[in-house]
Amino acid sequence: MRPQLLFVLGLISAACLPAQQTSLSGPVEALTFDPPSRSLRAVNGFPGAASFGPALLSNVDLASVAPGQNYGILFERGKCLYVSGLGTKVVSTVIPSVTSYPDRIVWSANGSLVILYSRAGHWFQTIAGFPTAPVANTLVDVASLGGSLTTMAVDAAGKQIVLAVSGDNGGVFESAGGQFTPLVSMAKPVSLSFSNDGETLYALDAATARVTAVTLSSHGLQTLALSGIINPVAIQSLVDSENRQVLYVAGGTDRLVRILDVATQQTISEVQLSFQPTCLDPFGSGSFVLASRSQSVNPLWLFAATPQPAAYFVPAVQLRTPDRKSIAVAGRTP
């Protein structure tokens, strides 16, 4: 049974915690930043029966909550804030030395470290020490690698950081102490995912439509074929309910999600979609974002393997005035 997470969340501003608070209780699949409404919202219920809750944080430029935790970070009015105590006593504090807004935010699964990175600016910055004393490390410029920064990943423990660069000398690199160690050459690496134990890194090359498994201790390589997928855009690795190491693969113009058994390289399941997926970002307990909301009329598309592999949508948020409550009815693709 999918775990039920209960949150009682306060309404927070960049300057201080206001006296008035908005509370929310009930089963919550996850919290998500909603760009069209510039708000942080809970997705209530489970995939197939989920809807957006009221805005918990408003007028926010960017926000992200650590997976399964009661703390996160947000960007507002040029500042990066650490927000802790969600569900008890909410406290927000400025994180010094974070002066630039990222394109993307990636958390370690245990919530101890977050990576901020900018593909346009060719830089990344880590913030470590969550939840007790988060400290921003020095911003790292990756321009020396040449090409374009495409994506980054961190293992579950927040210890191993990798990045991908596309171009003539493109590839995947491990980053440690300001040094970059090449792991595998690729013309167009677009997605990275660690195995649960952190021993293997999976890297997707969109140029060849192949996934390379890198054994990090020995730098040994294994190629995983993606037969029939022309436009793979994202991957995610996890251990399924049968204790198999599986790989989720999203095909963009292919409009599908394939679940692949890594050991046998056999397809366990393949789901056709009625839309074009753009990502496979971890979301709730066993669910992933397939396409985020870029416009107010768009739904949030999720994928979950239980009770059966399928894509589900969280309908677009429609706001009443003046109370700005959300109204939506959840559904799933046929």
| Position 108 in a domain | no
Does residue 16 sit within a domain? yes
How confident is the model at residue 30, as a pLDDT? 87
CB within 8 Å of 179: residues ≥ 6 apart = none
Residue 55 inside a domain? The answer is yes
Could you report the per-residue pLDDT of 128-148, keeping only the tens digit for each? Answer: 999 999 999 999 999 999 999
Q: Report pLDDT for 10.
A: 32
Residue 53 lies in a domain: yes
Q: What is the DSSP letter of 167?
A: S
CA 287, CA 273: separation in Å to the nearest integer? 16
pLDDT at 84: 77
pLDDT for residue 86: 65
Q: Centre a 10 Å sphere on the Cβ of residue 94 and count the other Cβ atoms it contains.
A: 11
CB atoms within 10 A of CB 118: 17
Total residue length of the chain: 334
125: β partners: 116
pLDDT string in tens for the chain (334-residue length): 333 333 323 333 333 333 234 454 568 888 888 999 998 788 888 888 899 987 777 889 999 989 988 789 999 999 999 987 765 676 789 999 999 999 999 999 999 999 999 999 999 999 999 999 999 999 999 999 999 999 999 999 999 999 999 998 899 999 998 899 999 999 999 999 999 999 999 999 999 999 999 999 999 999 998 999 999 999 999 999 899 999 999 999 999 999 999 999 999 999 999 999 999 999 988 899 999 998 999 999 999 988 889 999 999 976 543 333 332 333 444 3
- Check residue 233 and give its pLDDT: 98
Q: Name the β-bridge partners of 304.
A: 287, 310
Count up the domains in the chain and report the number.
1
Cis peptide before 232 (omega within 30 of 0): no
Burial of 193 (C-beta count, 10 Å sphere; 0-12/13-18/19+):
buried
Give the distance, in angstroms, between the CA of residue 60 and the centroid of all CA atoms in the same chain.
Answer: 18
107 CB-near residues (< 8 Å, 6+ apart):
64, 66, 67, 113, 114, 115, 154
The β-bridge relationship of strands 140-141 and 123-128 is antiparallel
Do 213 and 205 meet the contact criterion of CB atoms below 8 Å apart? Answer: no
- The pair of three-digit structure tokens given for residue 83, joined into one six-digit string: 């927000």
Asked if the structure places residue 83 within a domain, the reply is yes
**Residue 109: inside a domain:** no
195 domain residue, yes or no = no
| DSSP-based helix, strand, coil % in the chain, nearest 5 | 0, 50, 50
Note whether residue 11 is domain-resident: yes
Q: Which domain holds residue 33?
A: 1-95
